[in-house]
Amino acid sequence: MREIDINQLRQEVNRCFLCKKPRCKANCPIETPIPDIIELYKSGEIEKAGEILFNNNPLSAVCGVICPHEDQCLGNCIKGIKDKPIKFHELETYISGEYLKSAKFKQETKLEDRIAIVGSGPAGITLAFILAKRGYKITIFEKNSEIGGVLRYGIPDFRLSREVLDNIEERLLDLNVKIRYNALVGPVLTLDKLLEDGYKAIFIGTGVWNPKPLRIKGESLGHVNYAINYLKSPKSFRLGEKVVIIGAGNVAMDAARTAKYHGAKEVKVVYRKDFEHMTATNAEIEDAKEEGVQFELFKAPVEIVDEGVIFVDTKFIEEDGKTKMVNIEGSEKLMEADSVIIAVSQSPKNNIVSNTENLETNKHGLLVIDDIGHTTREGVFACGDVVTGARTVVEAVAHGKRVADAIDEYCKGK
């Protein structure tokens, strides 16, 4: 996580046009009031700016770091047409980080209704803040020993400071939120048990932690790992000197950079298409390149062997007016590797679903909800990756705000 230079920050905000119809705000999934924040910062009202950012987005300090800014505020800045766009995300990171350190919250209203939040990832944290501020008795059930979900166990600390997550936890505790660690809901502590114990509503925000397989021969060999498992505890792995990463998203970039950080001498990201089709942000790709990660494009894995991975070359062809990707016959070649990391997305685990009646999922194992986040089980709500599949943190926060309102209305009998 890069240090923010305050002097450069001041110079940067002075470049902003403060547009009347800001495209940066319009293209932010949570409509961050960017010009207003810049004006407050310039006038020295940093605490007020931090409060506005937090109330709009409880994970503002996180989103300032890990959002795909090039697709949102940064990529839609009018200044960027003829000049460099304004790096508002750096200002957001600074203001929100300072606010989280110093703010002291208090639960002004206290209601009798209890709400259970299963999972402390982006969606769960968002709901906990909003509903605790409204007076509800909130208990978070977290299967791990620390809160954060994918923020802590899926994003390396060189990208996202753990201090930010620790400060978020402190602010939750300020609001009387109870956190049960190492508490896996599903097999023993069931949803039925939570409802029996008096929880008025339950929110499920358990994310997607089952890695998706490649379904090729050799995937179960001892030197093969899944990125989501590797990122959770990289110090536990002995990858060797040569590592091959199969995938093209931010998780693949995180795994590649983490492998370099932990001593791998040669790390290659291999993808069946080109850079344009990679789902990772340009910023993440460039960071990986700067840190010595190599890229091998137009190659698809066909088999994993003890010595590495056998890849086949690929190419785009036009067929019936459509562009499609095909393998080039006879181009199979071994790419040597001590370890292989597979990073091709994730799906939900079924700990809760398999132990709960009337809780429906779709063919991908994702929870089925209505337009306000209510699942097919009365009083049980959900949103975030467990509903949409792996998406961005800011999308989970935006959905979480809407579901928090729905739970509030449900508890009030509306």
| pLDDT tens for each residue of 274-324 | 999 999 999 999 999 999 999 999 999 999 999 999 999 999 999 888 999
pLDDT at 141: 98
**Diameter over CA atoms, the chain:** 70
DSSP state for residue 71 in the 8-state scheme: G
**Sequence-ordered strand ranges (E) for 169-246:** 178-180, 199-204, 210-211, 224-226, 242-246
DSSP state for residue 367 in the 8-state scheme: B
In 3-state terms, what secondary structure has residue 198? coil
Is the Cβ–Cβ distance between 369 and 383 less than 8 Å?
yes
Mean pLDDT of 219-236: 97
DSSP state for residue 66 in the 8-state scheme: H
Mean pLDDT of 381-407: 97
pLDDT digits (tens, 9 = 90+) for 18-74: 999 999 999 999 999 999 999 999 999 999 999 999 999 999 999 999 999 999 999
pLDDT at 34: 97
What is the C-alpha to C-alpha distance for residues 351 and 285, in angstroms, rounded to an integer? 34
Mean pLDDT of 242-259: 97
pLDDT digits (tens, 9 = 90+) for 83-142: 999 999 999 999 999 999 999 999 999 999 999 999 999 999 999 999 999 999 999 999
What are the residues facing 297 on neighbouring strands?
271
pLDDT at 1 over 90: no
What Rg value do the Cα atoms of the chain yield, rounded? 23
pLDDT digits (tens, 9 = 90+) for 187-199: 999 999 999 999 9
pLDDT at 7 over 90: no
In 3-state terms, what secondary structure has residue 162? helix
pLDDT at 328 over 90: yes
For 39, 71, 172, 184, 229, the CA distances from 168, given in Å and listed in that order, are 26, 26, 6, 21, 24
Fill in the amino acid letter for 29.
P
What is the C-alpha to C-alpha distance for residues 140 and 175, in angstroms, rounded to an integer? 12
| Residues 210/214/216/220 CA torsion (nearest 10 deg) | -30
pLDDT at 5: 80
Mean pLDDT of 217-233: 97
At 221, is the pLDDT very low, low, confident or very high (cuts 50, 70, 90)?
very high
Q: Which residue has the tokens 């208990």?
A: 139
pLDDT at 414 over 80: no
pLDDT digits (tens, 9 = 90+) for 339-359: 999 999 899 999 999 999 999
Look over the chain and give the mean of its residue pLDDT values, rounded to a whole number: 96
What are the residues facing 296 on neighbouring strands?
270
